[in-house]
Chains A and B, each alone.
Chain A
Amino acid sequence: MIQTGLWLVALGALVGAAAVVVAPERRRHVVAGSVTALVGVGGVLAGLGGLGGSTWTAVAPGLLPLGEARLAVDALSGAFLLLIGAVAVAAGVYGIGYTAPGGRHAQDLPAAHDQHLPDAAAHHASPAASRTAQATVPLFVAAMLLVPAAASVTTFLVLWELMALTSLLLVLTEHRLRASVREAGLWYAGMTHAGLVAIMTAFALVAANVGGESFDAIRAGAADLSPTVRTVALVLVLLGFGSKAGMVPLHVWLPRAHPEAPSHVSALMSAAMVKLGVYGLIRVAFDLLGGAPRWWGLLVLALGCLSALYGVLQASVAVDLKRLLAYSTSENVGLMLIGLGAAAVFAADGNRVLAGVVMAAAVLHAFNHAAFKTVLFLGAGSVLRSTGLRDLDALGGLVRRMPVTTALVAVGTLGAAALPPGNGFVSEWVLLQGLIHSVGPGGSPVVAVSIPVAVGVVALTAGLGVATFVKAFGVGFLALPRSTAAAEATESPLPMRVGMGLAAGVCLALGLLPAVAARPLDRVLGVLPEVRSIDPLADSAVTLRLNGIAGSMSPLVIAVGLVLAGTAVVALVRRLSRGVPRRVAPAWGCGAIERDPRQEYTATSFAEPLTRVFDDVLRPEQDVDVTPLAESRYLIESVTFRQRVPDRLEARIYPPLLAAATAWGRWSRRLARGSVHTYLAYGFVGLLAALLLAGVTG
């Protein structure tokens, strides 16, 4: 099954990309979407095979210039193959509709309250429907799918870079429409390449010291690595994979690239690609190096807390729907990092049971986040395609115009808000259980301080997450439309609804029956030496049980309970109101006859209390323009209020780095004076230095 799946991935992507290139224009979106979904199906097959407990290895000597290509699938690879494959299926099906002719997503985004909509733009072909973009999507998906299957350093790095390049191409799809796309591409390219350098250095260091570049050789030799090499490698992989995962403060590319990419690509990047950063950390730190020391765990824990809090804070005040989702990705990656960090700390303290629980929580949360973030990004894409808007302050009222999309997004929102019976709740519950059970007598002081802090962070994050997604859903989809574009919205084409529906179905399944994931998750943990044979999760029909610590939960029962309670309340109200005369009037009108969208909460005003509370961290920029009447300056004609919440962390850290890089570039330009003799002399001196070095050391 694994082999069939991977063949489907590789051949499907190559043949499929070629088919997309030669397909006639009016069939291209169908071919591209189907091919992407097919590649995704291959990933799902291989992933199910890996999670089912079978392993598979293949070696192709001489395929890569400097070595053999080596692939292997175990349960850990299988988990991520399944995750990426499933996201790709949903995004592929969705892409058929998203890149079909029509829609308003291919135009310049109008300013917040600009009500003017150019009609001509509505009929433009989207750049996402271009030949290059459409052919790149299946290649990107295949590259992502093969990364977790790579089993040697060279193979891993080649596939990793292929994934980075294809995703960069896709981020740049709409570069002709908006300058912000080019800027986003530049940031993404910079961050992903800096990350690659870190990962490559770490791998090179480790491979050179164990004397082999296959993952098997590293596993065998990891025990004899010197502490220095291990330390440097662990820090470097944290930086490299952290930048891909969107870990704060390396998250800067995320809120730029995710909003600017075409929405099905945003979903692929945010739900699937970012997870590979988490995969890389698990694979290298916990599998290849055989476990991480406690200081590393605490570092990851701290960075995870920072990412979770900072991500959710920025998301709670974001007004651009896709930017909000991008920051929420940082938040959720932060939660996964908290799991990984706590697992390393617990394992270092010898508490393998708790290490297993929090590690399982991290992997489960990767799945849950992938499911609800796919729905949400695809939903945001549907809104964008239908209205041309990403600005929550200009949306609203979509529940009447786009009922199916709204219902599906509601499922995703429930998951993202981490409320039962949403799927995000399950993994956050497992994570909290693991963290809370560590608190007690006998623990080391560092753990006794840091873990309760982490518990607080997770709780605060969950609370702010609820506020964020109530805002996103309430302001964006409910109430009255705040612009003509939102008022004229139309429901998305069928393929888009199917794509979102698939992902929403997975959300529901994971939210209601998480016990299904218990066995496969135990197999995933079986790959990692530190938590092997712990089997932290056990299933008994509909209940998820934690082994070793007292904890069990049955989301299905919670959901049934909620439904019963809701029905009971409705029945009770009906019964009590029997005999009372019924009057139909607009709700929330407060007695006013006329309702105006300007009376509603906007995203900005909804988040105002939060902005006020976290003023010191967020430091919003506010602009109030008061225009008095011409006749009297005591009478006011209009007041405009504008608020921007720039990324303060980015503004603190990155400008000095960029300035230093620019200064260095300027300085090195002095080396190029224009004289041929100088250039020749550089070569000559370089040669002599190399020879001298060889002569002295040899």
Chain B
Amino acid sequence: MSAAMTTIAATAAGPTGVASVQLLDLLCGGVLLTAVLILWRRELAAIVRLLALQGVFIAGLAALVAGAEGGVAGYLVALGVLALKTFVIPAVLRRVLADSGEARETEPLVNVAASLLAAALLTLLAYVVSQPLVALAPSAATRALPVGVAVVLLGFFVLVTRRRALSQVVGFLLLDNGITTTAFLAASGVPLVVELGVSLDVLLVVLVLQILAARMRTTFGGTDLDELNELRD
């Protein structure tokens, strides 16, 4: 923890100009908005579209941070994020969706209205707990840090409350997006190697989950996770 904090303090330069700060806030707002919208929508196809859109915002964020830092590697990272989060993963998810024939997230464990209320509370919590981090090195980028934390919490919330296997994947991806956002905002960009490793991991997890969902469907005829209740001693 303390090591991470010193990294932040040392490198919290980030974008400084008025226009780029406004752009940064806009992109962060987009990331948060898409996360909340994912909670709102129940059409799985729409959720995948929103996820792709969130990928665009994160890639933009990466590019903005790269522009402030200078150097080509940052732009490469942004390009990689864009490719992975906007095209590759949504494509995989669409394929799962087409195979499954389950178009909607039926009856989530917490209904949509309550989910949105919970999202508001979680975002509030994210802002509260991020205060000490922001106070370490106040700058435009770190002030937006709570957005990343909020997206992590929202992703976890999706994992807990949604039933379909695809929704679980979405929740997991939201978690990852939140962590990526936090990383870009806090550490002013991520080394290419690290981002490459993380991305490959995420891709692998999604592929495994895709296979798992297909297996569940052929075995149980559906992907409702609550039917898997033999998982106990």
Contacts and interface: CB of A to CB of B under 8 A. Distances in A.
Contacts, number: 51
A581 interface: no
A675 B131 CA distance: 35
A679 B159 CA distance: 10
Among B128, B129, B230, the one with the most A-chain Cβ atoms within 10 Å of its Cβ is B129
Nearest to A690: B129
A673 interface: yes
B71 interface: no
Contact of A677 (B128, B132, B153, B225): B225
Interface string B220-232: 0000011011111
Given A677-B161, A684-B156, A698-B132, A691 B226 contact: no
Nearest to A672: B232
Given A673-B232, A674-B229, A677-B226, A691 B125 contact: yes
A676 B125 contact: no
Contact of B156 (A669, A687, A692): A687
B232 A676 contact: no
Given A674-B230, A687-B156, 15 more contacts: A673-B232, A674-B229, A674-B231, A674-B232, A675-B229, A677-B109, A677-B163, A680-B160, A681-B160, A688-B125, A691-B125, A692-B125, A694-B129, A695-B128, A695-B131
B230 A676 contact: no
B157 A684 contact: yes
Nearest to B152: A687
A672 B232 CA distance: 6
Tell which of B153, B156, B226, B232 has the most Cβ of chain A within 10 Å: B232
Contacts of B129: 691-692, 694-695, 698
Contact of B125 (A674, A677, A681, A695): A695
18 contacts: A674-B230, A675-B225, A675-B226, A675-B229, A676-B228, A677-B109, A677-B163, A677-B226, A680-B156, A680-B159, A680-B160, A687-B153, A688-B153, A691-B125, A692-B125, A695-B131, A698-B131, A698-B132
A680 to B, nearest CB: 5
Contacts of B125: 688, 691-692, 695
B233 interface: yes
Interface residues of B, number: 21
Nearest to B156: A684
Contacts of A681: 160
A673 B231 CA distance: 8
Given A695-B125, A695-B128, A669 B160 contact: no
B77 to A, nearest CB: 28
Chain B CB within 10 Å — which of A672, A674, A683, A687 has the most? A674
A683 B159 CA distance: 11
Nearest to A685: B160
A687 B153 CA distance: 9
Nearest to A670: B232
A695 B134 CA distance: 13
Interface in B139-196: 153, 156-157, 159-161, 163
A674 B233 CA distance: 8
Contacts of A691: 125, 129
Contacts of B233: 669, 672
B110 to A, nearest CB: 10
Nearest to A698: B132
Contacts of B229: 673-675
Given A676-B225, A698-B132, A684 B232 contact: no
Contacts of A687: 153, 156
A694 B132 CA distance: 10
A677 B228 CA distance: 10
A684 B230 contact: no
Contact of A684 (B128, B132, B159): B159
